Amino acid sequence: MLRAAQFSAHHFALSFNKWATADERHEVISLSEWFEMFEASGLMGADLTRAQLLSVFVHAMLGDHDKVVEKFEDAVERETRPCQDLIFSEFVEALTRTALSKYADDASTPVDLKVHEICLLLISGPAGAGTGSALPASRGGPGGGR
């Protein structure tokens, strides 16, 4: 039997390929695409806020450095145009961090199952390729090209 982590690798790729469209070669997912993905999924709420999503995105991109999120936000405010894109491996880390953040109060579920749950909710829920109706046309919704 395959472990959940093995299934999640496929689900990571499905989520990434669905949402990484801002760059011509579809090799990175931007911060705005990251937020759009979670807004469309319906996963954002009291247990997963925009601030948490920004934090996991920045930490996956830049590492666990002291005040990295604050420094990133300062750079954005100063309009110094910091990098705001994740490559696939950083995307995987960001989704893992997201699962750990969203399910922080759940001490009994293994990490790989938490990650698997996030992936399934992203690809099978309103943000997923199969549902379309909650998606804008540019993302595969009605009239979309995907």
Whether residue 142 is predicted with pLDDT greater than 50 in this model: the reply is: no
Q: What's the average model confidence in pLDDT over 32-60?
A: 93
> Which tokens belong to 8?
């999640």
Three state DSSP letters for the chain = CCCHHHHHHHHHHHHHHHHCCCCCCCCEEEHHHHHHHHHHHCCCECCECHHHHHHHHHHHHHCCCCCHHHHHHHHHHCCCCCCCEEEHHHHHHHHHHHHHHHCCCCCCCCHHHHHHHHHHHHHHCCCCCCCCCCCCHHHCCCCCCC
Tell me: the pLDDT tens digits for 50-109?
Answer: 999 999 999 999 999 999 999 999 998 888 777 899 999 999 999 999 999 999 999 999
How high is the mean pLDDT of the chain? Answer: 81
State in words which class domain 4-130 has: mainly alpha
Residues 136 and 146 sit within 8 Å (Cβ to Cβ) = no
The whole-model pTM stands at 0.77
Q: What's the average model confidence in pLDDT over 24-49?
A: 91
Alpha carbons 16 and 38: distance in angstroms, whole number: 12
